[in-house]
Amino acid sequence: PAQTMEQLVSLCKRRGFIFPGSAVYGGLQGTYDYGPLGVELKNNLKLAWWRANVWEREDMEGIDAAILMNKLTWRYSGHEETFVDPMVDCKQCKMRWRADQISGKCPNCASTELTEPRPFNLMFKTQIGPVPDPESFSYLRPETAQGIFVNFKHVLDSTSRKLPFGIAQIGKAFRNEITPRNFIFRVREFEQMEIEFFVRPGEDEGWHKKWVEDRINWWLSVGLSRQNLEPYHQKPEELAHYAKATVDLLYRFPHGLEELEGIANRTDYDLGSHSKDQGSLGLRARVSPNSHSTDKLTYFDPETKQHVVPFVIEPSAGVDRGVLALLSEAYAEEQVKPAPADRLKPVEEALGTFLKSVSRNDKIPAQAKEALLAEGERISQALGERLPSVTGLLSMPGAESIEVAKKLRGQVDPVVDEFYRTVLHFKPHLAPIKVAVLPLKKNNPEIVSTAKSIRRKLQSTGAMRIVYDDTGAIGKLYRRQDEIGTPFCITVDFDTLGEGKDTALKDTVTVRHRDSMAQERVAISELETYLREKMQ
Ligand code: ATP
């Protein structure tokens, strides 16, 4: 896995997974854009979730509700009143922080002169319609869940579902986070994959337990390892006001062990809150009186002939945090063969010179300088193992302003190319690109046209992305595909054309495996079946 966030940020930018948002205008804090590979990875993650939770289950339906909702939704859901974080200001440098994420000291200037925490509502307010009437506003949804609750009756009536059943949704959510940070971990615009699973009161605890197990198993199925995943049972005093129990699934991100998904038992709070005639419903949860709702969000139980308000189990996962976990878990810098000492020596010297001029440079802000030196120190202590990380080091803030950076890069690149590789060990079904078809010689028209036709044929048969690449020598092309996690490379060479020593190899290609780097010969006519099997 990745050791530092820098490794991921650098790879993501360099290879087109994730870019900082609005960069040409100096950026917009808390926003990121997914590039050509990032969108494929993210779509694959969402599809894997949808497949497991909607298609493969017999007790689930999907919806896609509007982001904009009647503002009353957010009054009765409790968000207007309670969706707040405690905020403090630093009296020295005027920066603002989330009080529960700092330990009594300003992370910017280290001052301990902070204001008292005060509540800050995280919802983005937005005007609805052309008339600037103070009442014509709503919020960008801070979670997708409410779109499911207000559609409970629609889904029930249109599908004739019986309890227990669930509704799943994937979509954007927006939170005006006080301090967005840690790359795509905490952002102001993100996506959620949420399930509201409706059960009979009394059966909620068993279902809650079952969902925690299901969700852990699903994260394992997309490639996270058990030792990096930790269920955390919230203590009674940590629970949200509506929750009877919550289990957070924590993941060991490069910046620490933090929440990837929350699985809450929300009782009958949500359906009860959005219902009229609440007094007649026998609610267990304490809800605010609702004078606007036009319906009772209840379920008629055909067995007991009674109307009940179902309890809700909510597994709520962040798509972006999922993408970050996948990247982090898959990331590896591997030595292909040991680099000899005489090749490492000049690199070591160039790194030393670079770090010296970093520490002498007064133009680099203190925080950036500290990060650069710490990362440089880490690398130089285990240079033989960590050499590829220099690329990440050179893309950290402040690094590019150092004159000797170019010299260091010049020393590092050839050694890395020869002895190392960066790999993303994605499970095949999540890899942005499943297969790359490569010509051994790009100036041989027959090799090129055979390679291109293999790509076209494979692409037309499967719902997976397959690319053709001839932008370098074959060794370089393999490394590039390793670095973006492509599980299979197919190489077309002279043997394929029947022009090699062994004419029996005509109409076969080399299939090279990303993880083992092993190569085998496969007939072109069998490629499709071969790949389909390996992709399972
Ligand atoms: P945190 O305590 O980290 O702020 P939360 O407990 O407020 O998260 P929930 O309200 O439970 O988060 O939201 C469900 C999921 O949505 C989280 O587990 C997370 O994966 C994702 N999520 C929440 N806020 C953000 C954010 N600002 N950026 C990215 N993902 C987020």
pLDDT tens-digit map of 360-411: 999 998 889 999 999 999 999 988 888 988 988 998 889 988 889 999 999 9
CA-nearest residue for atom 4, ligand 1, is 186
CA-nearest residue for atom 8, ligand 1, is 259
ipTM for this prediction: 0.98
Helix (H) or strand (E) holding 315: strand 311-318
Residues with a CB atom less than 6 Å from ligand 1: 143, 175, 177, 186-187, 190, 192, 259-262, 316-318, 320-321
Task: Give me the percent of the chain exceeding a pLDDT of 90.
Answer: 88
Distance of alpha carbon 30 from alpha carbon 179, whole angstroms? 8
Give the long-range contacts of residues 358-363, CB within 8 A, separation 24 or more: 358/398, 358/399, 358/402, 361/398, 361/401, 361/402, 363/401
> Mean pLDDT over residues 127-142, rounded?
93
Distance 317 CA to ligand 1 centre (A): 8
Q: At what angle do helices 36-50 and 319-330 cross, to 10 degrees?
A: 110
- Nearest-atom number in ligand 1 for the CA of 177 is 27
From 253, 263, 321, give the residue whose CB has the most ligand 1 atoms within 8 Å, as the site to mutate.
Answer: 321
Distance 397 CA to ligand 1 centre (A): 27
Which backbone phi and psi does 534 adopt, to 5 degrees?
-70, -25
Distance 318 CA to ligand 1 centre (A): 6
- Nearest-atom number in ligand 1 for the CA of 175 is 27
> Mean pLDDT over residues 55-69, rounded?
98
Distance 280 CA to ligand 1 centre (A): 34
**What is the pLDDT, as a whole number, of residue 395?**
85
Q: Which of 194, 223, 190 has its CA nearest to residue 60?
A: 194
Any idea which residue has 């599809």 for tokens?
Answer: 47
Distance 33 CA to ligand 1 centre (A): 18
Query: How, if at all, do strands 84-89 and 96-98 pair?
Result: antiparallel
pLDDT at 438 over 90: yes
Task: Identify the CATH homologous superfamily for domain 433-535.
Answer: Anticodon-binding domain (3.40.50.800)
Distance 122 CA to ligand 1 centre (A): 12
Helix (H) or strand (E) holding 261: strand 256-267
Average pLDDT along the chain = 95
Which backbone phi and psi does 253 adopt, to 5 degrees?
-75, 165
pLDDT in tens, 441-498: 999 999 999 999 999 999 998 778 999 999 999 999 999 999 999 999 999 999 999 9
- Nearest-atom number in ligand 1 for the CA of 258 is 3
Task: Give me the percent of the chain exceeding a pLDDT of 70.
Answer: 100
Any idea which residue has 């009353």 for tokens?
Answer: 72
Q: What residues does CATH 3.40.50.800 cover in the chain?
A: 433-535
Task: Identify the CATH homologous superfamily for domain 5-83+122-328.
Answer: Bira Bifunctional Protein; Domain 2 (3.30.930.10)
Distance 192 CA to ligand 1 centre (A): 9
- Judge contact between 76 and 149, C-beta under 8 A: no
Distance 248 CA to ligand 1 centre (A): 10
pLDDT at 85 over 80: yes
> Mean pLDDT over residues 42-51, rounded?
98
Give the distance from CA 113 to its chain's centroid: 36
**What is the pLDDT, as a whole number, of residue 305?**
94
Distance 13 CA to ligand 1 centre (A): 24
From 190, 246, 260, give the residue whose CB has the most ligand 1 atoms within 8 Å, as the site to mutate.
Answer: 190
Query: How, if at all, do strands 137-139 and 125-127 pair?
Result: antiparallel
Q: Label residue 417 by pLDDT band (50, 70, 90).
A: confident
Residue 533 or 19, more confident: 19
pLDDT at 132 over 90: no
Core vs surface per residue 17-39: b (16+ CB within 10 A) or e: bbebbeeeeeeeebebebbebbe
pLDDT in tens, 514-532: 999 999 999 999 999 999 9
**What is the pLDDT, as a whole number, of residue 146?**
98
**What is the pLDDT, as a whole number, of residue 397?**
87
CA-nearest residue for atom 25, ligand 1, is 186
Instruction: Tell me 52's DSSP state.
Output: I
> Mean pLDDT over residues 323-335, rounded?
96
Any idea which residue has 């076209």 for tokens?
Answer: 456
Sign of CA dihedral 473, 475, 479, 482: positive
**What is the pLDDT, as a whole number, of residue 148?**
98
> Mean pLDDT over residues 115-128, rounded?
95
Q: What residues does CATH 3.30.930.10 cover in the chain?
A: 5-83+122-328
Expressed in angstroms, the distance from the first to the final Cα of the chain is: 23
CA-nearest residue for atom 2, ligand 1, is 259
Q: Which of 96, 98, 77 has its CA nearest to residue 141?
A: 77
| DSSP 3-state of 36 | helix
**What is the pLDDT, as a whole number, of residue 108?**
87
pLDDT at 536 over 80: no
Instruction: Tell me 525's DSSP state.
Output: G
CA-nearest residue for atom 30, ligand 1, is 318
| DSSP 3-state of 196 | strand
